[in-house]
Amino acid sequence: MAATAIEQKPQGKRPVKAALDRTDRQAAMAALQLALSELGDGVTLIWQRQARGLKGRITLRSAFQDDRGRICRHVVYWFAHGDYQRQIETIGCREPDGSWSLSG
Render pLDDT for 86-98 as a digit per residue (tens, 0 to 9).
Answer: 899 999 999 999 9
Lowest-confidence range among 4-18, 35-49, 61-75?
4-18
Identify the burial level of 16 via C-beta atoms within 10 angstroms of its C-beta, where 0-12 means exposed, 13-18 middle and 19 or more buried: buried
**Residues 100 and 75 sit within 8 Å (Cβ to Cβ):** no
Q: What does pTM read for this prediction?
A: 0.76
- For residues 5 and 63, what is the distance between their CA atoms, to the nearest angstrom? 20
Whether the pLDDT of residue 104 is over 70: the answer is no
Whether the pLDDT of residue 34 is over 60: the answer is yes
Count of the separate structural domains present in the chain: 1
- For residues 58 and 46, what is the distance between their CA atoms, to the nearest angstrom? 7
Domain range for 66 is 4-102
